[in-house]
Amino acid sequence: MFRLTSATTRALALLTLLAAWPAAPAPLVTITAREGELDIHIDREVVARYVWGDENLPRPYFHALITPDGIQVSRNYPPDPAADGNNDDHAHFHPGAWLAFGDAAGADFWRNKARVRHLTFLVPPSGGDGQARFTVVNAYETTGDAPRTLFTETCAYLIAAHEDGYSIVAESEFKPEGDAFAFGDQEEMGFGVRLATPLTVKHGGGAIRNSAGGEQEAGTWGKTAAWCAGYSVVDGRTAGIAVMASPDNFRPAWFHSRDYGLIVANPFGKKAMTAPRDASVAPDATPVPADGTLHVGFGLYVFSAPAGEAPEVDAMYNRYLDARKPIRP
């Protein structure tokens, strides 16, 4: 006959107590609005800013990305002459995190030769326990005295807090404004980030790694992957950003990843990313018919872990997939 010892009884009582103990509350994620900008807070600390009213950069972007424990992981915008030194290139092309296209309907939104104009919040910013969200409508326009809208974008954003950081989910639907159009074939296409200088391989002794096991620019540039992450040890923590592509996109993303700190998920640049110097390969195009739409989804994950531990980015990717469920198509 089995008898419970006093030690076993105490252990069972402890397990029962722990099971009944209330779970820690999810971090509070809130958004406050300012002129042309949203501040995103986790437990009252600003961890990112979404901007659409910048006179020097005519497209929306996120910047000042900071881990919840206070480590900046995106490059200063604009670059700081002291902190960023020789890492100050493309000051108004790489503001932090962004979605942009070097060729969409024949216009160049990456290099700011055309503009993305914020029209409205289809879903106003709101927050709460663990998550915040908002949905914007943007017009992609030519510039000049008589600007013309080429197509529109409805983008749903969701910011989710996690134990090791937070994710930003972006689900965009593009619709022609009249005529059909196409996304072109360049490496400067898609959803990207510019890492803080101390996190880069070239300037800070950091690392780049992708879901296929590739490392650094040499092993990740032009490779398809579910995610690609850049990180380094800063202030005793391993901090970084992972850029993620939705598995529901029209095809997998190649990554335009550079040791100086650029990581872009690009499902559009087939020739540019796989055969840039092969004259026998024709440039690709991703058409959107006049009566159709194109949906693409991306995400980023800002993380911080104890130094000496390899970031578990596969687990982060699964949390990104879970976070995007409420807004995926």
Q: Which residue is associated with the tokens 């578990």?
A: 312
- Whether the ω angle into residue 25 lies within 30 degrees of 0, i.e. cis, is no
Half-sphere exposure of 185 (CA within 13 A, CB side): 13
Beta bridge mates, 39: 32, 49
pLDDT in 10s for each residue of the chain, 329 residues: 445 455 555 555 544 544 555 566 789 999 999 999 999 999 999 999 999 999 999 999 999 999 999 999 999 999 999 999 999 999 999 999 999 999 999 999 999 999 999 999 999 999 999 999 999 999 999 998 899 999 999 999 999 999 999 999 999 999 999 999 999 999 999 999 999 999 999 999 999 999 999 999 999 999 999 999 999 999 999 999 999 999 999 999 999 999 999 999 999 999 999 999 999 999 999 999 999 999 999 999 999 999 988 899 999 999 999 999 988 76
Specify the pTM. Answer: 0.92
Give the Cα separation of 17 and 247 in Å (integer).
Answer: 41
Give the Cα separation of 276 and 186 in Å (integer).
Answer: 9
Give the Cα separation of 58 and 21 in Å (integer).
Answer: 50
109: tokens are 């939104």
Beta bridge mates, 305: 238
Judging by beta carbons within 10 Å of its beta carbon (0-12, 13-18, 19+), is residue 293 exposed, middle or buried? middle
